[in-house]
């Protein structure tokens, strides 16, 4: 796989990324011609530069995890392209796919999904190195280095220990170290601290922020927590029903949200607003159904500002200021 094409090539680039899921087959559906698919991710364009930390924000079911899994080639898109360091991910196979697997890593939400409860911590940390054929003589050094990067004690302290013998905060650091042993360029952290007590979240987030900055790692933080995104991400994408509805530098976006959905999300975050006319908006009802592909704006059923045009005409994600893009007819 080609690497480091140029400093200006984005590390990760998605164009028109789309993922549709077929509905589960039911006997009662057998005679119906069309069963609506779920449009989990719908024509998403995004870029992530080397060393950049991006937040992907949105309510449950809006397509965040699916986007992360697509970018890591853990699932295949229904349409669209992903380029990693200038190379199409779709065509990767054999050694180039193994190389990609080393360079792009997932940090799980739940440590127990990432760590086999029957494996010792030592074995769990070495497992990615074994699976990707990294020279065995380097394993110990790489594991020790990753443990110190996440500010955990040396491996000897974990000898013979299993995941259930560690605290939640320690386990989440082990999960991060397990991603770092492969010395990746890009991590997707899917709700990385949502399973932890509030008291240990800050410690783990600090470590993630430090590690990312010191290693120059690019990261996509998936979250529904605005405070987390604000703390760790320089740029934020807001997603609604599979579409990116707003994008911008995190502080600008929080202080001056433009899309009605982002403005509704802002209720949760006490930040001084630059423009008081853009105070948080009410939001109507629950997340709409992602099945089928309705015309018009995906947010129109819940939008307090919707106009007639919103029912027929899908708003494009347009540039409205340097670094800021919004998909709304009124902005």
Ligand X SMILES: Nc1ncnc2c1ncn2[C@@H]1O[C@H](COP(=O)(O)OP(=O)(O)OP(=O)(O)O)[C@@H](O)[C@H]1O
Task: Closer to Mg ion by CB, 98 or 195: give it.
Answer: 195
- State the binding string over 55-74 for ligand SF4 (x if CB under 6 A, else -): --------------------
Of 40, 70, 146, 228, the one binding ligand X by CB under 6 A: 40
Task: Closer to ligand SF4 by CB, 265 or 306: give it.
Answer: 306
- State the binding string over 208-247 for ligand X (x if CB under 6 A, else -): ----------------x-----------------------
Task: Name the segment binding ligand SF4 (CB under 6 A); options: 18-26, 43-51, 72-80, 305-313.
Answer: 305-313
Task: Closer to ligand X by CB, 64 or 263: give it.
Answer: 64
Residue 148 exposure: Cα atoms within 13 Å on the Cβ side: 7
Among ligand X, ligand SF4, Mg ion, none, residue 306 binds (CB under 5-8 Å by kind): ligand SF4
For the beta carbon of residue 146, count every other beta carbon within 10 angstroms. 24
Task: Closer to ligand SF4 by CB, 97 or 284: give it.
Answer: 284
Task: Closer to ligand SF4 by CB, 232 or 306: give it.
Answer: 306
Task: Closer to ligand SF4 by CB, 123 or 309: give it.
Answer: 309
Task: Name the segment binding ligand X (CB under 6 A); options: 58-66, 133-141, 168-176, 211-219.
Answer: 58-66
Of 65, 236, 250, 298, the one binding Mg ion by CB under 5 A: 65
Among Mg ion, ligand SF4, ligand X, none, residue 171 binds (CB under 5-8 Å by kind): none
Least gap, CB of 322 to ligand X (angstroms): 28
Helix/strand/coil (H/E/C) assignment for every residue in the chain = CCCCCCCCCCCEEEEEEEEEECCCCCHHHCCCCCCCCEEEEEEEEEEECCCCEEEEECCCCCCHHHHHHHHCCCCCCCEEEEEECCEEHHHCCHHHHHHHHHHEEEECCCHHHHCCCCCCHHHHHHHHHHHCCCCHHHHHHHHHHHHHHCCCCCHHHHCCCCHHHCCHHHHHHHHHHHHHCCCCCEEEEECCCCCCCHHHHHHHHHHHHHHHHHHCCEEEEEECCHHHHHHHCCEEEEEECCEEEEEEEHHHHHHCCCCHHHHHHHHHCCCCCCCHHHCCCCCCCCCCCCECCCCCCCCHHHCCCCCHHHHCCCCCCEEEECCEEECCCCC
Of 20, 43, 64, 243, the one binding ligand X by CB under 6 A: 64
Catalog residues that contact ligand X under the rule CB under 6 A.
21, 38, 40, 58, 60-66, 224, 290
Catalog residues that contact ligand SF4 under the rule CB under 6 A.
260, 297, 299-300, 303, 305-306, 310, 315, 328-330
């Amino acid at each position: 796989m080609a690497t480091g094409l140029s400093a200006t090539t984005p590390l990760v680039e998605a164009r028109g990324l789309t993922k549709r899921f077929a509905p589960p087959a039911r006997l009662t559906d057998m005679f119906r011609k069309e069963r609506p698919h779920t449009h989990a991710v719908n024509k998403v364009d995004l870029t992530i530069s080397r060393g950049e930390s991006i937040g992907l924000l949105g309510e449950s079911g809006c397509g965040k995890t699916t986007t992360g899994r697509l970018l890591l080639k853990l699932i295949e898109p229904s349409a669209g392209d992903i380029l990693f360091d200038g190379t199409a991910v779709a065509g990767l196979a054999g050694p180039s796919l193994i190389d990609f697997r080393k360079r792009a890593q997932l940090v799980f939400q739940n440590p127990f999904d990432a760590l086999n409860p029957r494996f010792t911590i030592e074995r769990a940390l070495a497992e990615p190195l074994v699976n990707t054929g990294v020279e065995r003589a380097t394993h110990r050094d790489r594991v020790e280095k990753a443990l110190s990067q996440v500010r955990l004690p040396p491996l000897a302290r974990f000898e013979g220990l299993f995941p259930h013998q560690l605290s939640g905060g320690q386990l989440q650091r082990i999960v991060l170290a397990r991603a770092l042993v492969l010395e990746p360029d890009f991590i997707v952290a899917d709700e990385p601290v949502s399973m932890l007590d509030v008291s240990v979240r800050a410690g783990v987030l600090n470590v993630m922020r430090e590690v990312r900055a010191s290693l120059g790692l690019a990261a996509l933080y998936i979250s529904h927590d605005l405070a987390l995104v604000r703390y760790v991400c320089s740029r934020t994408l807001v997603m609604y029903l599979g579409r990116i509805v707003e994008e911008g530098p995190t502080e600008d976006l929080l202080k001056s949200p433009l899309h009605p959905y982002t403005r509704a999300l802002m209720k949760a975050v006490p930040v001084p607003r630059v423009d008081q006319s853009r105070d948080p908006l009410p939001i109507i009802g629950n997340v709409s159904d992602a099945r089928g592909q309705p015309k018009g704006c995906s947010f129109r059923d819940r939008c307090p500002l919707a106009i007639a045009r919103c029912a027929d005409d899908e708003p494009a994600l347009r540039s409205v200021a340097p670094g800021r893009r919004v998909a709304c007819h009124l902005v």
